[in-house]
Structure 1
Amino acid sequence: MRDGTGNRHVILSGCSGGGKSTLLAELRRRGFATVEEPGRRIVAEEMRGEGRALPWVDLAAFARRAIDLAHRDRDAVAQAPGWVFFDRGLVDATIALEHAIGKPASCSLSGTARFHRQVFLVPPWPEIYRQDGERQQDLAAGVEEYNRLCDALPRLGYAPVILPRTDVETRADIVLGCLR
């Protein structure tokens, strides 16, 4: 059953390198609308330019860009039928901005329709974690980020659902089962 607001927008979040993008691809394969992670798109664009809003250069600037892009993403899929799955997005970017500036930034969420109350988190998974040109943080930093998400989501009114470390098909089945 959907949450009380009837919201169809669902966040996939958690540890970097924990399998979010793979899960998003599986949900897309099953016919659901999906929205790619803002952060990776911003990093790719910044690396082609001056690189001032890279998370390892200026986390606050990066988070602010991610918030802006996440708002645009949300607007772009506002009329999509059925469930829409977001790889990170607005709530993650707001939590990153809070961390970067050292004070609550939940004003980034004000005036925004809520997402589905359940946020699906992929936990740290050292066996599949890989750094690349767009993911330069190490696993320890990814775990710190994951812990911040776990702490902040309930404060923002969301219910984290931690997905098991298992194959992507099973993860997708769990997500869809929770949303029934």
Structure 2
Amino acid sequence: MLKRFVITGGPGFGKTTIINRLEAMGYNCFHEFSRSLKLEEAKKLGGSISWTKLDERSQDDFSLKVCKRRIEHYLAAPIDELSFYDRGIPDVVAYLKMAKQPISSFYNEIINSHKYETKLFMTPPWQQIFRNDNERIESYDEAVVAHRHLLHTYQELGYTTLDIPCINVEGRIQFIIDEINKQ
């Protein structure tokens, strides 16, 4: 049986740090790649890009690329081993909703045929660790809005969302492992 756990939340709230630490501990981890995809798109457009500032067609194209890559990650999980994902396929839908874009039936079909464990880990807004940079140009307030869209999207899909405590990385990892062991 595949054990796929998503770690998600607004940008800048510590997901990647957690994923990197889990990977260093020997767990199968699938990394976020939207940043590198944004860099590719920014080079084409001649500067930084913000998801919410893309036009509808660009958002659709970007979302499709992200979704396809997340499907590849989903299918690459080793059988009978624990795997962690820095964002899941439903994140695409959450960002489309945030941009007030229509959700095509394609995404619903993909989400229904590519399920993760129902226990979902969320990095809640945490201003003390939030940082933006050349690729992550969202403000803290925009990151909180993204977090809310992610939370609502996963809950609408039937996932049980668990907030990872705002504590040191080791404590956050221990929380995740303890919750998984409760299953």
Q: Which runs of 5+ in 2 are unaligned?
A: none
- Paired with 1:106 and 1:22, the residues of 2 have a C-alpha distance of 33
Once the two structures are superposed, residues 62-97 of structure 1 have per-residue CA deviations (whole angstroms, 9 ceiling, x without a partner) of 22221122112222x233551111111311112212
Match of 1:165 in 2: 166
- Paired with 1:146 and 1:120, the residues of 2 have a C-alpha distance of 12
- Paired with 2:167 and 2:103, the residues of 1 have a C-alpha distance of 34
1:106 CA drift (Å): 6.3
2:52 is equivalent to residue 39 of structure 1: no
Once the two structures are superposed, residues 150-177 of structure 1 have per-residue CA deviations (whole angstroms, 9 ceiling, x without a partner) of 2121111111100110011111111111
**One-letter code aligned to 2:66:** A
**One-letter code aligned to 2:69:** L
Q: Which runs of 5+ in 1 are unaligned?
A: 1-5
Q: Note closer, same or farther for the CA distance 1:174–1:106 as it changes in structure 2 (3 Å cut).
A: farther
- Paired with 1:29 and 1:109, the residues of 2 have a C-alpha distance of 33
The percent of aligned pairs where both chains have the same amino acid is 24
Structure 1 window deviating more from structure 2 (165-174 vs 6-15): it is 6-15
- TM-score scaled to structure 2, two decimals? 0.84
Partner SS for 2:99: helix
Contact 2:2 2:80 in 1 (8 A): no
Match of 1:15 in 2: 10
- Paired with 1:18 and 1:32, the residues of 2 have a C-alpha distance of 21
Match of 2:73 in 1: 73
Q: Note closer, same or farther for the CA distance 1:46–1:80 as it changes in structure 2 (3 Å cut).
A: farther
Contact 2:93 2:107 in 1 (8 A): yes
Between Structure 1 and Structure 2, which shows a larger proportion of helix residues?
2
1:7 CA drift (Å): 4.0
Contact 1:18 1:123 in 2 (8 A): yes
Match of 2:122 in 1: 121
Contact 1:13 1:122 in 2 (8 A): yes
Cα-Cα RMSD: 2.2
